[in-house]
Chains A and B, each alone.
Chain A
Amino acid sequence: MRLLLAMVEKDLLRRLRSPLPTILLLLFPLIFSGLIALTFGGGEAKVPKVHLLLDDRDGGLVGRLVGAAFSREEAQTYFEVKTLTAEERKAGDAALLEREEATAVLRLPAGLTDDVLAGRPAHLELVKSPAQSILPDVAEQVTSVLAEVLSSSSRLLRGPLDQMRNTQAMPATAGGGVSDPRVAEIAVQVNGVVTRARPYLLPPVVTLDTLDTATRSEPGSGAKGPQGQKGPQPKPAGSSSTPSLFLLFLPGIAVYTLFNLADQMMRDLLIEARLKTLRRQLAGPLTAGRVLAGKALSTAAVATLALLALTAVGAAVAPRGVSLAGYLLLSFALVAAATGYASAVFGVARNERQGATLANLVSLLMAFTGGSFIPLNSLPAALRALSPFSLLYWATQATRSW
């Protein structure tokens, strides 16, 4: 046993004399998780805008109403609308979408106002950009709501709209416009329709409140919104998902690093064979079994120290109570798995280079199928079926569940 401990001490001293590779390897999960967290979690979530090109060939009342609807303050949060000029239209839809990096072209056909006023079937045209994935679908949904609104308005306001058409067809008054009594008559009719429809339309029977987990109040807690009404709470200023993203990715990348560290330690045996120091060791009172056991113990010792360092970082970011027995059990299992994996990979490899290639291949494969880098639910079903065969899957799941 003393001999084994001496071998472990020798390996640890060698690592201590040349600590840079080990330190760099240990920094990898921190830097990688930190970069991912900063890239995807920094600051407030920014809603991407739908960049809509409005091709108004109608030029009438309906075209102006649609343009005005998209210019409202609420709509401007989600939409950026540009009305095309006659010159710009000549470029064609595909060229326009590409040049303007737009989401879609919404075309209001000539005669749309007349059709809506007359209650005739009309079509809106939406040309979606193939270069974007989700926003064109948003534009399609909003346009279908717009078509629904126009269609319903055309039916609901049929009486006043017919009056307006008749007025347009009548000869103009001496002043060149529509007479006051006529305008008043149509306005009264519109008001009558709206008043009759109000009980059926307002207030809505069902409304939707969107909450997020950070601001969600407990059901029945009677939380009040900013205006004293029940509803979503505003997100606290400065709240950010960066630490939680860091903690989401750290366990997976940390166990991947642990396996890599173990493979570097077992690789030592092949390096020592190349440097002929292994021959020197075996010339002493050492059996092959002891040399192997000593190297496995050294691997386990370095992996344990690395695990302690990584756990300390995790605990500093998110301090929480864990049972010592549980931590020791899981650490023991992780170290055993990493050591066994490294021993098997380099035991099969013919030489150092082959071992390094094989170790990289196997560890990357285990990391991707095990969800160490990418959350498992983002993987295709075929890859997820392979996950239970990956040691990193069990390691990542266990460390992440802390």
Chain B
Amino acid sequence: MTEQLGLRAVLPNIAILAGAGFLLLALSAPLWQRRLLKGELT
């Protein structure tokens, strides 16, 4: 199954995409939260 997809070859891509996605979410969450709490968006 692994060979069928070439999964092994794209595992680094998956790790980088998921890692970067969650890192960006984690970094941007405090920004959003601060703006929402300070009432900038409301």
Give the interface of A toward B (CB within 8 A): 269-270, 273, 276, 278-279, 282, 288-289, 291-292, 296, 321-323, 325-327, 329-330, 332-341, 343-344, 347-348, 391, 394-395, 397-398, 401-402
B-side interface size class:
20 to 34
| Beta-carbon contact of B33 and A292 below 8 Å | yes
Partner of B1 from A288, A323, A337, A394 at Cβ < 8 Å:
A323
Q: Are B24 and A402 in contact (CB under 8 A)?
A: no
Chain B residue nearest to A295 (CB atoms) is: B32
Q: Which of B1-19 contact A (CB under 8 A)?
A: 1-2, 4-7, 9-10, 12-18
Docked CA distance A269–B22 (Å): 19
Bound complex: CA A117 to CA B34 (Å): 92
Tell me which of A282, A394, A402 contacts B36 (CB under 8 A). Answer: A282
Which of chain A's residues have a CB closer than 8 A to the CB of B16?
394
Complex interface: chain A residues within 8 A of B5 (CB): 322-323, 326-327, 402
- By a CB distance below 8 angstroms, the chain A residues around B31 are 347-348
> Is B32 in contact with A330, judged by CB distance below 8 angstroms?
no
Known: A326-B2, A334-B17, A402-B5; 14 extra A-B contacts, CB below 8 A, are A279-B42, A288-B33, A326-B5, A326-B7, A326-B10, A333-B13, A333-B14, A333-B15, A338-B21, A339-B25, A341-B24, A394-B16, A398-B17, A401-B9
Task: Tell me the interface secondary structure of chain A in the complex.
Answer: helix
Q: How far is the CB of B20 from chain A (nearest CB, A)?
A: 6
Tell me the complex Cα distance, A282–B36, Å: 9
Whether the Cβ atoms of A323 and B13 lie closer than 8 Å is no
Alpha-carbon separation in the docked complex, A347 to B35 (Å):
9
When C-beta atoms are compared, the residue in chain B nearest to A320 turns out to be B4
**A289 contacts B33, C-beta separation under 8 Å:** yes
A340 CA to B31 CA in the complex, in Å?
A: 13
Mask: chain B, 22-42; 1 = CB below 8 Å from A; 0 = not: 111101110111011100011
In the complex, chain B residues whose CB is within 8 Å of the CB of A336: 17-18, 21-22, 25
Residue pair B13, A340 in contact (C-beta under 8 Å):
no
- B28 surroundings in chain A (CB, below 8 A): 340, 343-344, 347-348
Minimum CB distance partner of A292 in chain B = B32
* Cβ-neighbour of B18 out of A292, A296, A333 (below 8 A): A333
**Contact between A347 and B17 (Cβ–Cβ < 8 Å)?**
no
Report yes or no: A291 in contact with B36, Cβ–Cβ below 8 A: yes
In the complex, the chain A residue whose C-beta lies closest to that of B25 is A340
Choose among B1, B12, B27, B37 the residue that contacts A344 (Cβ–Cβ < 8 A). Answer: B27
Contacts of B15 in A (CB 8 A): 333
> Considering the complex of A and B, which 8 residue pairs feature the smallest CB-CB distances, nearest first?
A336-B21, A340-B24, A347-B28, A340-B21, A288-B36, A398-B13, A326-B5, A273-B41
**Which of A282, A292, A343, A401 has a CB less than 8 Å from the CB of B6?**
A401
Q: From residue A7, how far is it (CB to closest CB) to chain B in Å?
A: 14
| Nearest CB in chain A to that of B10: its residue | A398
Chain A residues closer than 8 Å to B4, beta-carbon distance? 321-323
Which chain A residue shows the least CB distance to B38?
A288
Tell me, rounded to whole Å, the shortest Cβ–Cβ distance linking B6 to chain A. Answer: 6
Contact partners of A395 in chain B: CB under 8 A:
13, 17
